[in-house]
């Protein structure tokens, strides 16, 4: 009988975002270096299939422990352990879609072959930005849960933009929260960071719970 390890303090056991939406919204390329919020690790593992490297960071040690355990499962070829580690998220997660994504023929084998390109660290997002060059950032639950102050969010967006190459992307799973009362994006966002409407549309097509926005550095 399969015994599931327990990670009681890890709030995010699996993602309730669309992995297809994230992959398509980020327009992932083989040369990309991605910095990602870790959470359950689902998103980082999904990205790893398509890119050169992923640095997954989280400020919560329990989330880092969970993601590292799942990495160990993959390294051993324990695919069921990878999918079933921790407890289920609950009724707000479409687990059939999440599991079907990873069970696509050959997908976990490909991800397993690239595990040396995944680093999982306990780290604040503000600290991780400068660890190495990144071409794309993936942010989830940053507004409100990760950083409560809109002033700090905007300062962080400026720093990320400063470190991105021209053409680099920032995917925000909760990006619609940056809209103001007149439904325009916050006026204090970096002037050279603009919504990529095509990639936002591609991401949103797969989402039912989230309202992602993809921003591109244009100059």
CATH of the domain at 41: 3.40.50.150
Instruction: Report if residue 102 sits inside a domain.
Output: yes
Instruction: Report if residue 176 sits inside a domain.
Output: yes
For the chain, the domain total comes to 1
What is the C-alpha to C-alpha distance for residues 119 and 75, in angstroms, rounded to an integer? 13
What domain range is 212 assigned to? 19-217
pLDDT of 83-116, one tens digit each? 986 555 444 455 778 899 999 999 999 999 999 9
Instruction: Report if residue 197 sits inside a domain.
Output: yes
Instruction: Report if residue 45 sits inside a domain.
Output: yes
Instruction: Report if residue 125 sits inside a domain.
Output: yes
Give the percent of the chain with pLDDT over 90.
73
pTM: 0.92
Instruction: Report if residue 97 sits inside a domain.
Output: yes
Instruction: Report if residue 5 sits inside a domain.
Output: no
Instruction: Report if residue 151 sits inside a domain.
Output: yes
At residue 12, the pLDDT reads: 86
Judge whether residue 46 has pLDDT over 60: yes
């Amino acid at each position: 009988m399969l015994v599931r390890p327990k990670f009681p303090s890890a709030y995010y056991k699996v993602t309730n975002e669309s992995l297809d939406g994230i992959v398509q919204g980020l327009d992932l390329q083989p040369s990309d270096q991605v910095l990602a919020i870790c959470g359950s690790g689902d998103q980082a593992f999904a990205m790893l299939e398509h890119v050169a490297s992923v640095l997954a960071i989280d400020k919560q040690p329990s989330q880092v422990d969970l993601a590292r355990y799942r990495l160990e499962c993959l390294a051993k070829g324990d695919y069921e352990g990878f999918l079933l580690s921790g407890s289920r998220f609950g009724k707000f997660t479409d687990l059939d879609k999440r599991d079907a994504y990873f069970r696509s023929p050959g997908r976990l084998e490909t991800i397993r072959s690239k595990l040396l390109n995944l680093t999982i660290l306990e780290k604040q997002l503000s600290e991780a930005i400068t660890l190495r060059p990144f071409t794309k950032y993936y942010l989830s639950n940053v507004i409100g849960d990760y950083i409560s102050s809109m002033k700090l969010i905007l300062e962080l967006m400026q720093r990320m933009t400063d470190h991105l190459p021209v053409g680099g992307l920032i995917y925000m799973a909760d990006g619609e929260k940056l809209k103001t009362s007149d439904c325009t994006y916050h006026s204090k966002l970096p002037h050279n960071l603009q919504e990529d409407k095509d990639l936002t549309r591609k991401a949103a097509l797969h989402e039912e719970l989230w309202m992602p926005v993809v921003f591109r550095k244009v100059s």
